[in-house]
Structure 1
Amino acid sequence: MEAFEQFDIHALVSLFHEEGCMSMPPFAMWIGGQEDLSAFIALTRWHCDGYKFLPTTVNGAYPALAQICAG
């Protein structure tokens, strides 16, 4: 949460495994590997400016994070 909220791209990407990947259904998007993830986050980070994470649960049992606009 701290890495995301502070826009610390290096710290955020270091949380992924080397073969980590990200997709965002329903969009046809698939990003894989730390180098590509780092580039994607650097290019799109402005979308998240002013957002924070709120810890919550899914289905009353599973830990989750809700992304909220703090501004």
Structure 2
Amino acid sequence: MLVAMEHVAISGALAVFGFLGLLITLIAALLRQLPELFSAWREARGALRNTARDGGTDDRQPS
């Protein structure tokens, strides 16, 4: 009985540390991409602002 409880405790501890490792990896990846995300957000806002300022016209040529 005690061996089974130790096995469950060890498995639970490994699961918690695995989850924490995954969480840290995901947060680190997001933080690395933040400058690119901010740049893309500014570019999209600028494009929307220019479209609104031009009266909603589209500069693309029809296909």
Q: Same fold (TM over 0.5)?
A: no
User: What is the TM-score with the length of structure 2 in the denominator?
Assistant: 0.30
Please state which structure has a larger fraction of its residues in strand.
1
Please state which structure has a larger fraction of its residues in helix.
2
User: What is the TM-score with the length of structure 1 in the denominator?
Assistant: 0.28
Rg larger in structure: 2
